Amino acid sequence: MSDIRFTDQHEWVRVDGDIATIGISDYAQEQLGDVVFVELPEVGKELAAGDEAAVVESVKAASEVYSPVSGEVVDVNGDIEATPAGVNEDAMGDGWFIKLRLSNPGELDKLMDEAAYSEFVEGLQ
Amino acid sequence: MSEPATAVDSLKTTPLHALHVELGAKMVPFAGYDMPVQYPAGVLAEHLQTREAAGLFDVSHMGQAWLEGPDHEAVAAALETLVPGDIRDLAPEAIRYTLLLNEKGGILDDLMVTRTAKDGVLFLVVNAACKDADFAHIEKHLPDGIRLKRIEDRALIALQGPKAAEVFARFAPEAAEQTFMTGREMDVAGIPCIVSRSGYTGEDGYEVSLPEQEAVTLTKKLLAEPEVEPIGLGARDSLRLEAGLCLYGHDIDETTTPVEGALTWTISKRRREEGNFPGAKIILDQIANGAARKRVGLLPEGKAPAREGTEITDASGRKIGVVTSGGYGPSVGGPIAMGYVETGSAKTGTGVELMVRGKGRPAKVAAMPFITKRFHKAGK
């Protein structure tokens, strides 16, 4: 089973072997509203934890998506570039943003698990 | 993800505040008021609803006032000392879009002026964020015998969209006869209103001033019609941007003149000849010899929206201007913007670059509006 972790900036990261899939949480897509534009990094780019990985824009505003962990970008989701509304439809699944090859798996321990994130989001409402 | 910070202060509310909350609106501070930015449908759906059927907006935060004097000539002459629009020759029940100017020709606010059926009474509607300053400015400059009476007990709602007229006629058959940019007093569902055929969306529709205690009743009646949904400030902004309309404090302000703001059309031939409005020397010189910069529409060639503050450069990378409003146009289906560029680059079709996140992205100067306006003109 893959393991999912969250940041307090509402990104999620799901790890399978040494590949981390990264996206924004369902709470985040709901807060953003209709996503109309997504800008993704180049494959091959090295990202450190906390680096700006992507940009997501709703009708209202632009927001940065930060990488929760360090690694090299090995894949990006072209589907959400073509159809940004896919982020609203399935933020936790098909609406993923990028895949990284993890360079420091220990960073995952600093992130929230699903229960902790749910509690964190509760506290925001 | 980064989120914009929101400040919670002691905010004012409109008579429809409780209704917005009941309808599930997301409330945000705007011009000192707690206002609905969107309802559960969301900005995109609300925008398209207004373009396809009809949308209802609460604009009660805007400033309303009567300007009164002995007769139309006297009141018009007093207001004309502050604005460049033709108020004198306004027909009864006609509306003028005009500008309050400072001595340098800078724009203090944009406003709507209706000549009411009652001789010597004008009805003014100004922007929420500017209303206190506007009214103080007007009062300070009025001659004896002319009075500004602020209206504090009336709400203002707007019904906009291709179905607006059909819906509104069910409550006020008389409104169907009104043409674009006319306003008159009439009963709407038995409520005494000032009904203006005007708006801020590029669509046909009405702006309705009514007693605040009746605001919930009429709003609920309009919302009960199948063609009507409530629309928040988010869609109001994307609708007006597609229509090429200025947002005061962003696209025009005290540092921009009507000529720079592409609003020269608001200054009539007579007013130019008389040259007796604030900043006339500067403005008339700009009309004759051109201004250094001009407000234009911008159509990005890619998909990335260019937001307010985005730098505009020419092909060589030299800065030639800045975006003042920009985002995604739901009816256009892509990014749109407006901003100021050097006059040499202001011609429609000119290629420019928009510096979004450090990267120059190609765009073209475009004619506005970005959509086809559908107003109810006379003879149509």
Q: Are B304 and B361 in contact (CB under 8 A)?
A: yes
Q: Which residues of B touch A65 (CB under 8 A)?
A: 1
Q: What's chain A look like in SS3?
A: CCEEEECCCCEEEEEECCEEEEEECHHHHHHHCCEEEEECCCCCCEECCCCEEEEEEECCCEEEEECCCCEEEEEECHHHHHCCCHHHHCCCCCCCCEEEEECCHHHHHHCECHHHHHHHHHHHC
Residue contact A59–B330, C-beta within 8 A: yes
Residues of A in contact with B4 (CB under 8 A): 61
pLDDT of the residue at A74: 98
Instruction: Decide if pLDDT at A108 tops 80.
Output: yes
Q: What is the pLDDT of residue B8?
A: 53
Rounded Cα gap, residues B110 and B152, in angstroms: 20
pLDDT over 70 (residue B3): no
- Which pTM was predicted? 0.93
The length of chain A in residues reads 125
The predicted structure's pLDDT at residue B5: 47
Closest partner residue to A34 among B1, B37, B43, by Cβ? Answer: B43
Q: Is the CATH code 3.90.76.10 the one for domain B17-61+153-242?
A: no
pLDDT digits 0-9 by tens, B193-249: 999 999 999 999 999 999 999 999 999 999 999 999 999 999 999 999 999 999 999
- Which of B185, B323, B201, B320 has its CA nearest to residue B250? B323
Q: What angle do CA B2, B6, B10 make, to 5 degrees?
A: 170
Give the tens place of pLDDT for each residue, B140-157: 999 999 999 999 999 999
Contact criterion met (CB below 8 Å) for B110 and B99? yes
**Residues contacting A102, CB < 8 A, separation 6+:** A15, A18, A19, A20, A69, A70, A71
Distance CA A63, CA B1 (A): 6
H/E run at residue B374: none
pLDDT in tens, B321-372: 999 999 999 999 999 999 999 999 999 999 999 999 999 999 999 999 999 8
CATH entry 3.30.160.40 includes domain B292-366: no
Segment holding B190, helix H or strand E: none
The answer to whether the CB atoms of B1 and A39 lie below 8 A apart is: no
Query: Which residue among A11, A39, A60 sits closest to B1, beta carbon to beta carbon?
Result: A11
Alpha carbon distance B51, B327 (integer Å): 17
Contacts of B44 in chain A (CB under 8 A): 33-34, 36, 59
Give the pLDDT band of residue B380 (cuts 50, 70, 90): very low
**For the stretch B294-319, what's the b/e string if a residue is b when 16 or more beta carbons lie within 10 angstroms of its beta carbon?**
bbbbbbbebbbbbbbebbbbbeeeee
**Where along chain B do its domains lie?**
17-61+153-242, 292-366
Task: Give the model's confidence band at B373: pLDDT under 50 very low, under 70 low, under 90 confident, else very high.
Answer: confident
One-character DSSP codes across B229-286: EE--HHHHHHHHHHTT---BTTTB-TT--TTTTT-GGGS-HHHHHH--STTHHHHHHH
- What pLDDT is stored for residue B305 in this prediction? 96
pLDDT digits (tens, 9 = 90+) for A25-57: 999 999 999 999 999 999 999 999 999 999 999
**Is 80 exceeded by the pLDDT of residue B1?**
no
Distance from CA of A65 to the nearest CA of B (A): 5
Q: Would you place residue B9 in the very low, low, confident or very high pLDDT band (cuts 50, 70, 90)? A: low
Segment B162-180 shows an average pLDDT of: 97
Nearest by CB to B42, which of A11, A34, A57? A34
Nearest CA-CA distance, residue A50 and chain B, Å: 10
Domains in chain A with CATH codes: 3-105 (2.40.50.100)
Domains B17-61+153-242 and B292-366 share a fold: no
Q: What is the mean pLDDT of residues B123-138?
A: 98
Q: What is the mean pLDDT of chain B?
A: 96
Residue B313 has pLDDT above 90, yes or no: yes
Mean pLDDT of the B84-101 span = 98
Q: Say yes or no to pLDDT of B181 above 60.
A: yes
User: In the A/B pair of chains, how many CB contacts fall below 8 A?
Assistant: 58
- The pLDDT-based confidence of B69 (bands split at 50, 70, 90) is very high
Task: Tell me: pLDDT of A2 over 80.
Answer: no
Question: From the CA of A2, how many Å to the nearest CA of chain B?
Answer: 23
Q: Residue B16 is inside which H or E element, if any?
A: none
